[in-house]
Structure 1
């Protein structure tokens, strides 16, 4: 690998490190606010942030290997493991979100206001596109399929953030208690698709092949 590509891979890894740190902050604030206010949407968003944090952690592990110049077989093995773990995490997130939202539909409990929750959502509207741009930029520069894939995941989080904000707004300003669990359920198709795609891609990675994108 050329020195220039190694430098670009390391820069992509640094973006993933920033993504990991920010997602940990998202998880801490959104889950705390979600459980305190009874907001299914915030809790579900926080659970998805856990998945995104895991994604960033495995991306860092994978890119570290690439930057260190490990052999092609080891690269493919790391990619397969990372995608497999992601698929499992996404699947668990789908099951949890469905349980949380359906429970709220049954109880019909309205979520209360959380300025902390709204604050982290508003911050994420700015941070997520920035992180996605960095991942896509370095993914394109290095022809890294996993970096570009992770950039798409981050933009899906942007959509989820907008959905959750709308749901919370309808609960607080219109009194529509059902908007909160509905917002949570609207996240499910995208998380489920991520579970399918990452699982499919993990299956397609052949460790003993002669070539594969990182």
Structure 2
């Protein structure tokens, strides 16, 4: 191997190490933000009997689990060996969220509880609508450069949180301003639908990864 080829290989290795380190930092920031977000959303949701806020808080918990799965993957010297497990954890976390939120939303729609106005929830949704797209874009870009399916899947989950922030904000505003109590559980059902779709995509990504891993090299 020539000195130029060795330099190119060294640069590639150095770049990969930099990208993996960046992923770890992004994941740490995502976990920290989502822990705060989950505590505020779940507390405010229980106080206001808001299914949408509780669903949003649970989504934050799922995002923490998803980011933790990616952090666990990249804590290994060979993170690609943990890719499939990380993808399955992300998929199952989405499915669990969708099931729980759907049941709770239906209970609210049939009159089990009437959500109250929540200024704290509105403020939280507005802040998340700004923060989460930035984190998602940075992780997705890094994940594509690194060729990591789990990092890209986790970035999609973070981006989903920004969509859910918008859905939550609309639901809370309609409930607070117009007294449309049905808007809150409907917003929660939209969140459940998003979670189900993202879980299916993560599962398909795991299947694709498994086929690539199991296929014989030519």
Work out which structure has the larger RCO, using CA pairs closer than 8 Å and 6 or more positions apart in sequence.
1
Return the alpha-carbon distance in structure 2 between the equivalents of residues 64 and 115 of structure 1: 39
Cα deviation code 1:49-87 (max 9, x no counterpart): 11111110011111222xx3x2xxx623x1111111121
What does residue 191 of structure 1 align with? Answer: 195
Return the alpha-carbon distance in structure 1 between the equivalents of residues 97 and 153 of structure 2: 19
Return the alpha-carbon distance in structure 2 between the equivalents of residues 170 and 9 of structure 1: 43
Instruction: Give 1:146 deviation, angstroms.
Output: 2.4
TM-score between the two structures when normalised by the length of structure 2: 0.86
Contact 1:20–1:57 under 8 Å retained in 2? yes
Higher alpha-carbon deviation: 136-145 or 31-40: 136-145
Give SS of 1:181's match: helix
What does residue 25 of structure 1 align with? Answer: 36
Q: Which runs of 4+ in 1 moved over 4 A?
A: 207-211
Contact 2:83–2:149 under 8 Å retained in 1? no
Q: Does 1:35 align with 2:46?
A: yes
TM-score between the two structures when normalised by the length of structure 1: 0.88
What does residue 4 of structure 2 align with? Answer: none
> What count of residue pairs does the alignment treat as equivalent?
204
CA RMSD of aligned residues (A): 1.8
Contact 1:108–1:178 under 8 Å retained in 2? no
What does residue 101 of structure 1 align with? Answer: 105
Return the alpha-carbon distance in structure 1 between the equivalents of residues 92 and 127 of structure 2: 28
Choose which of 74, 80, 87 in structure 2 pairs with 1:75: 80
